[in-house]
Structure 1
Amino acid sequence: MELPPAFLLFVISAAFTPGPNNIMIMSSGLNFGTRASLPHFFGICFGFPTMFLAVGFGLGYLFEKYALLHSLIQIAGVLYLFYLAWLIARAAPTKLERHRAAPLSFAQAALFQWVNPKAWIMGTSAIAAYTTVGANVNLQILAMALLFWLMTFPSAGVWLFFGIALKRLLGDPQRQKYFNVAMALLLVGSVIPIVIDLLQAHLG
């Protein structure tokens, strides 16, 4: 099945922008090196898609049973995405501190996804905004999880392997501001088609 192109923009912007996972894996790479950080890296790569599937299958059942609920959550998801874009655009320069004695294990990184606010926003907003009632919602969720899984490797990998370079690049407040604004605009751009569809469905 095909996912809307806007969803790919959403996945790219959400995966590569600064967040708890990316900042933590970059800090781990800087403090403990690549090899010691690999369990943390794979914990992110497998932990988030697993959480996404668990949440998605539950929401998928509700969407099929209550179509109106899908529209309401879709609107809430769009509002969350705009709010996330606003937070990204206003984000202050990141300051990393070497405060942990050891890198996270695979299990710790995977379980962290369940308390990661960005992961929850990404997952619930994506399901609400980009699934389509009338189609096989579970199949859509599987396809979305696969795309998230594929994108997690390069996004977490960039922050791990190029952590020092990224830290220097984003260390200048003005450069980080440009980066954050660009990511925020990309995130907003991914939401516009959903807003248009909602307006057409309810006002058309």
Structure 2
Amino acid sequence: MLESLFPIVLFTFSTSITPGPNNLMIMASGLNYGVNRSIPHLLGICLGFPAMIVAIGLGLGTLFSQFPLLHEIIRWVGIAYLLYLAWVIANTRQVDSAGSNRPFTFLQAVAFQWVNPKGWIMAVGALAAFTSPSGEMWIEIARIALTFIVIGGPCIIIWLLFGVRLKKRLTEPRHLRRFNITMGLLLAASVVPIVLGAQ
């Protein structure tokens, strides 16, 4: 049991702790809005991604294999949405700014998982690597989803707390502006491998 679980834990940790759209966005949210206002966003990632794994594992993947155009549409919508979010983050000028710049809600963060290209790669990769046709699919899928909650959740929290920690250092507006522009550019850059892979 432990031997079969260790590779899933390793995969989950390595994919959850490394930079990606979710981590960059939750870090920027921590800096701009603090922990309390970012909790719905955090929970949306921590619960939304495992729910996506379950949905794909239980049959949505079959739908996409039968209708590859649908998957391609979701990929390009995801790319466009990531670029929009990169622009919004880069143009955030003030900590706790009011108006149109608000932290993600729980449902927005859950919905974002479905247009997050890195999320698709992680979900499909985990299901392909850690399930087998001869195994009990329900149990294997549940094990992967639970591992992403138990291991992936703390990784996301680290990025949130890193953003909050930076908030104390970035007290000058020009430093905050540079940080948000950098985060926006990094988020936009995360799209490049997805676009190149789509060619």
TM-score tier (shorter): 0.5 to 0.7
**Are the structure 2 counterparts of residues 151 and 166 from structure 1 closer, same or farther at C-alpha, using a change threshold of 3 Å?**
farther
AA aligned to 1:15 is S
CA deviation digits over 1:80-135, x for unaligned, max 9?
xxxxxxxxxxxxxxxx6353711000000010000001110000011111212311
List aligned pairs for 1:76-115, cutoff 5 A.
97-99=90-92, 101-115=101-115
Which moves more between the two structures, 129-138 or 18-27? 129-138
Secondary structure, counterpart of 1:162 in structure 2: helix
The equivalent of 1:35 in structure 2 is: 36
The equivalent of 1:116 in structure 2 is: 116
CA-atom RMSD in angstroms: 2.7
Gaps of 5+ in 1: 63-68, 70-95, 169-204
**What is the number of residues matched between the two proteins?**
137
Residues 31, 165 of structure 2: 8 Å contact kept: no
- The answer to whether 1:9 aligns with 2:2 is no
Q: Partners of 2:164 and 2:91 in 1: how far apart?
A: 14
Q: Partners of 2:147 and 2:21 in 1: how far apart?
A: 20
Q: Partners of 1:114 and 1:97 in 2: how far apart?
A: 23
The equivalent of 2:156 in structure 1 is: 156
Q: Partners of 2:15 and 2:35 in 1: how far apart?
A: 23
Cα deviation, residue 36, structure 1: 0.7
Q: Partners of 1:4 and 1:109 in 2: how far apart?
A: 27
Residues 31, 98 of structure 1: 8 Å contact kept: no
The equivalent of 1:48 in structure 2 is: 49
AA aligned to 2:24 is I
Cα deviation, residue 6, structure 1: 2.0
Residues 4, 130 of structure 1: 8 Å contact kept: no
The equivalent of 1:138 in structure 2 is: 138
AA aligned to 2:45 is I
Q: Partners of 2:166 and 2:138 in 1: how far apart?
A: 37
Cα deviation, residue 155, structure 1: 0.9
The equivalent of 1:20 in structure 2 is: 21
Q: Normalization by structure 1: what TM-score?
A: 0.60
